[in-house]
A and B are shown apart, each in its own frame.
Chain A
Amino acid sequence: MSVYQRVVDWIDLRLGVRDILEQNLTHYLLPRNINVWYTLGAVLLTLFGIQFITGILLLVYYVPDTGQAFDSVQQIMNEIPFGWLIRYLHVVGSNLIVIALLLHMLSVLFMAAYKTPRELTWVSGFLLLNLTLGLCLTGYLLPWSQLSFWATTVATDAAGAVPVIGDDIVRFLRGGAMVNEATLGRFFALHVMGMPLLFGLLVGVHLFCVRRAGISRPPFGDGYVPRGPRYTFEHEHHYGGIPFFPNYAVKDAAVISFFLVLLAAIVFFWPTLFMPPAGFEPADPFTTPEHIKPEWYFLWAYQTLRIFPDKFLGLAVQVAAMTFLALLPFIDRSRERRPARRPLFLICFVAGIGVFVALSIWGHYA
């Protein structure tokens, strides 16, 4: 008997790990018509893992002080061996995460996987999307560049549109009247500790929901029939399906590899793709750079604020759109999941993507 087998036997005797692995890997059956879009969860877990590791590594040299933050980032980029690689992986990775999150959300929407009994999975996922955007926003300030400073100024200023208490919210977010040392301190604390802790907790809730309810069957093919109403909890089994390991794990690995190659390609060949020139100048609170724009995934919100003459109205439209998305499973209550039989949904789906893209492009060139 090999040493490896003896070690596994020893652990198995105490913890029954073989049973756990069988239940969750080889005997965990997935629908036969499962498609590539279901791999995005694994892709996101991988990308978040990279963010977590590169984030800890950056903390080794980063100094969260307005007088030293920019220089410490420059030191990471220019003096620390492979510092540029760690930082660009973190920067580019955050953008790829937003792309993967949007694709994940769109696929769940298209296949109506948010419907009963998966409302909690959807809501926890939607909260994770917002928390990710919060992580992006707070992380944006940390290099203390012109881009960091003014993008944060514009982003926090948007909260001022809330009637009566708007100015107080802005002061609270910034820790003062303007973006300053206090803003850096609170954004740093949120970015490296507060939000990641909450994020980890929410990922746990999300995965628990996914595993407990069971993977939703893709609503395609002749054999698909919408499930009837249920009055007691029931895990969705897929008898006769394919095992998660090795069949689907290989597909997961392939798509994860694709994203890793994409990440490496951008980091090595176009590292400044997501970093305008203002990101390489130290913050100057007395000089606003021209044409300062938020990151691409906030452009739709930025342009919405510009379209409406009243800032509050612009903010209200954004809040309404996000609330609608968050509560979608409770609004769209029909049991039909097949896209071809949901024409109204399909029109809204395509129009929604169109509006998002159009506003983003408009915001970019405006």
Chain B
Amino acid sequence: MSDPSKSPPKRRAFLVTLLSGLAGLFAAAVLYPLWRFLSPRKGTGEQEKVRLERASVPLGGAHFFNFRGGPAVVVQPQAGSFIALSAVCTHLGCVVKWQEENDEFFCPCHAGRFSPRGEVLGGPPPQPLPELNVEVEGDQILIG
């Protein structure tokens, strides 16, 4: 048996390691539910397509709608041709406006400009507006 006066540092180190491990486990047991509780929920219909009436999109005009929790827009530049885009400006996240007289999207926050296809025409946006898939089914438009 070793001298008991020499063992405390080892014992202390062992206890500190043990208690630290237990504290870590306890912290994980508390933080994991907390993280899950506060994590954004996968909303119902995240993969769903959006169905719109074809008549709701006028020729040369735009129709704004909610797409999987965010704003989106569909335009009809030529008769029977539909383009759907995210309506969120790629600069700082404002929602763009459709300017029918100029035939372009305009971001009122910092004067970003986009073509009906979403390409950057001017201003600070670094990237085009993301395009969404569009299918025409009779008198309905299917987006997503």
Interface residues of A (CB under 8 A from B): 57, 60, 79-83, 85-86
Q: Which A residues are CB-close (under 8 A) to B33?
A: 81-82, 85-86
Q: Which B residues are CB-close (under 8 A) to A79?
A: 41
CB distance from A209 to the nearest CB of B (A): 32
Q: Which B residues are CB-close (under 8 A) to A80?
A: 37, 41
Between-chain CB contacts (< 8 Å), 18 pairs: A57-B34, A57-B37, A57-B38, A60-B37, A60-B38, A79-B41, A80-B37, A80-B41, A81-B33, A81-B36, A81-B37, A81-B39, A82-B33, A82-B34, A82-B36, A83-B37, A86-B33, A86-B37
User: How many angstroms from the CA of A80 to the CA of B36 in the assembled complex?
Assistant: 8
User: How many angstroms from the CA of A83 to the CA of B34 in the assembled complex?
Assistant: 9
Q: Which A residues are CB-close (under 8 A) to B34?
A: 57, 82
CB distance from B35 to the nearest CB of A (A): 9
List which B22-61 residues lie within 8 A (CB) of chain A: 33-34, 36-39, 41
Query: Chain B contact residues: over half helix, strand or loop, or mixed?
Result: helix
Give the contact-size bracket for chain B: under 10
Interface residues of B (CB under 8 A from A): 33-34, 36-39, 41
Q: Which B residues are CB-close (under 8 A) to A60?
A: 37-38
Smallest Cβ-Cβ distance to B30: which chain A residue: A53
Q: Which B residues are CB-close (under 8 A) to A57?
A: 34, 37-38
Smallest Cβ-Cβ distance to A260: which chain B residue: B26
Q: Which A residues are CB-close (under 8 A) to B38?
A: 57, 60
User: How many angstroms from the CA of A79 to the CA of B39 in the assembled complex?
Assistant: 12
CB distance from A229 to the nearest CB of B (A): 47
Q: Which B residues are CB-close (under 8 A) to A81?
A: 33, 36-37, 39
Q: Which B residues are CB-close (under 8 A) to A82?
A: 33-34, 36-37
CB distance from A89 to the nearest CB of B (A): 10
